[in-house]
Amino acid sequence: MDRISWDQYFMAQSHLLALRSTCTRLAVGATIVRQKRIIAGGYNGSIAGGTHCADEGCYVIDEHCVRTIHAEMNALLQCAKFGVPTEGAEIYVTHFPCLQCSKAIIQSGIKKLYYSENYKNHPYAIELFNQADVEVKQVKFNAESLEPLVSHTVPGSQ
């Protein structure tokens, strides 16, 4: 049986998380992984119980929606909330992180960043990742590559 790579598996998780996004400008998902195990996931959306962009539109200041918490930050905050260490972990994100999320990723001790799509890749974020020895790698995600696996019939399930 053919299996997808770990990178494609975790990137698929991030793309699945992005489907929960409530931001109408860009749906983003993030998955934090340590030792090939998912420890947290997040998507961009409003604070718990808050008004969502999908309901009332984005609240844009200086070209950024300030209503949402970014996917990377939501995943990092989930780890903080439940006491899950991120030192030495990896993060898979559907889009290159913004500058603020890049700094939070570095500060959290994450050592590898995998992203699927370029998105306003800030030169200073790239510089900071280099300074902090965070490995940055683009992993293009191809949803069509999952179709043969999804349609695969499990023996005895008919």
Taking residues 2-19, what's their average pLDDT? 95
Q: What is the pLDDT of residues 76-126, one digit of tens each?
A: 999 999 999 999 999 999 999 999 999 999 999 999 999 999 999 999 999
What is the gyration radius of the CA atoms in the chain, in angstroms?
16
Task: Map residue 7 onto helix, strand or coil.
Answer: helix
Question: Which SS3 state, helix, strand or coil, does residue 34 take?
Answer: strand
63 is catalytic: no
Q: Which of 72, 90, 144, 147 is catalytic?
A: 72
- What mean pLDDT is reported for the chain? 92
Q: What is the C-alpha separation between 53 and 70, in angstroms, rounded?
A: 13
